[in-house]
Structures are given as C-alpha cells and as structure tokens.
Amino acid sequence: MENKTRLERDRELIERRLQELMPRRDRLTEAMGYSLLAGGKRLRPVLTLEFCRACGGEDAPALDMGCGVEMLHTYSLIHDDLPAMDNDELRRGKPTNHVVYGEWMALLAGDALQAEAFSSVLCAPASAEARAEAARILAEAAGARGICGGQFLDLDGEGRRLSPEEITLLNRQKTGALLSAACRMGCVAASRPDLASAAGDYGQALGLAFQLRDDLLDEESTTEELGKPVGSDEKNAKATMLALYGAEQCRAMVREETERACRILEESFGSPGFLLWLTRELAERKN
C-alpha cells in the first residue's frame, strides 16, 4: 500500500473510533467533541497503531489505546490555549474551546477528556497486564515528568534565557513524552513490552525534531497554513532553540534527530518502510 494512502486509512480508522467513543449527550460532551473531533494530524494514535503492527500485533487494542492518547493530547491543547496559559484563540483553523464555550466549560472539557483517555486505554481489548502497563505509561507521560511538567517549564521560562539543556528538557516533556508514550503503548498492545524501550527512544528523537520544526513554522509559516496564530513564541517571549541558535542550526538539528529516529527503527524494528517514510515526512511538514 502506498504510504500516503496508508496514512489516510489509519486516520479514517482513528476518526471513526473517536466518534464512537465520544457521543454527544449534553453541552459538556459537545465541548469535548468540539476539540477532539476537530481533525488534526492524529499522529499519536497513528504511531500507536503502526508500532503495534511493526511488532506483529492486531489493530483493535492499539486503536483504543491510541485514541486514549489522542484524548489526552486534546485535553492538553484545550488547557494550553486558556488565557491563564498561552492565551490562544485559534486551533486547527477554528476558535479555541474557551472562545466558543467559555473558560469554565473548557476547563471541564479538558478534565473530562483526560478521564476518558484512561477509560479508553483500560477498556481496550487486550490482556489485563497490557492494559495496566499502557495506562501506567500514559499516566507518566501526562504528569509532572511529562506534559504538565513541560508546560510548567514552558510558562516558567517565558521572558528568561534558558540553557540548551533546559530547553531540551522542556521539549522532551511537553512534546516528546506523549509521542514516546504513544509508540511504547503500541508495543505493549502487541504484547511486545521488550521493544517498548526502543520505541520510546524513537518517540523522543521524533519529538525533538517535531518541536524544532514547530518552532521554525511559528516564525516562517502563516496562520492560514498552520491553522493557529504564528509569531506567538516571540510575542510570549518563549524559550526556544530557535531563539538561541537561529533557523539554520535548528534545521540541522531537525535533520540530526530525524536520522537518529530512523536509525532506531532500522536497528530494532526491521526497517519498517511506512514509519521511516512518516518520520522523514514530518521533518519537512508545512503545518
């Protein structure tokens, strides 16, 4: 199957399952669905599916686990966009959740999506051991050593000159932790926890490249292309590698981390063609 077609089929599978898992019953579930079903790359559940396949597993457990990762990712975006945090009014080309539903509803929608994320993982059609391990991985990625810790470092670092090591830690937690968890959970879904460490290392390398590319796009792209405001890093005095090193060095770092991720795939997963293609595609993405 051609790689772009495979990616679209993965996304269609994920969209259908998210719709099934997120029925709209009232204003709260409407607000949850507004952000969850707004589209996007669906990169994290795609990675869960594809790492499960690379380990010889079936789609069903990985699909529900991956949808759980996407729910948790969406909760983090809703909260990151709030006025008390990044104060953004556009996400995926649409007004952000709090702009449409108000701040208190956005807070509750995010909180509820986080709970639904763990429900999706813990109800996946897998062994009790696999479900428990996947939930543990997701909890670690969600907390103080993951996206919450990363958002703290991001906000706390505004207006300050952080060291390269501090910015790397910020990126590893805010972006890399959930990407890494998605990959590890794919291995767990396939009952191959022995491969989860390598998958996690891949996810961290991909996460660093992804965040560096994000920083470049924030400076060089347009609001229409990205579906969210550009120039916000500079406006909010964010600590980024781009601010430290400039565009050319950041592009070189994207290439370096991308190739590191590809080496991990080749060494541990038998050179899975689709994942190698996806990794290099993300390094050149326009949104």
| pLDDT, tens digit (0-9, with 9 covering 90-100), for 33-90 | 999 999 899 999 999 999 999 999 999 999 999 999 999 999 999 999 999 999 999 9
Name the domain count of the chain: 1
**Angle at the Cα of 9 (from 3 to 12), degrees rounded to 5?**
145
- Amino acid at site 102: G
Read off the pLDDT band of 159 (50, 70, 90): confident
**7/239 Cα distance (integer angstroms):** 33
What is the domain-level CATH number for residue 161?
1.10.600.10
In this prediction the pTM is 0.95
Q: What average pLDDT score do residues 114-143 get? A: 98
Q: What average pLDDT score do residues 110-119 get? A: 98
Mean pLDDT of the chain: 94
Q: Which domain holds residue 123?
A: 3-283
Full DSSP string of 145-186? TTHHHHHHHHHHTTTS---HHHHHHHHIIIIIHHHHHHHHHH
**258/261 Cα distance (integer angstroms):** 5
In this prediction, residue 251 carries a pLDDT of 95
**198/184 Cα distance (integer angstroms):** 8
**Angle at the Cα of 84 (from 78 to 87), degrees rounded to 5?**
65
**In the structure encoding, which two tokens stand for residue 133, read together?**
């391990």
3-state secondary structure of 2: coil
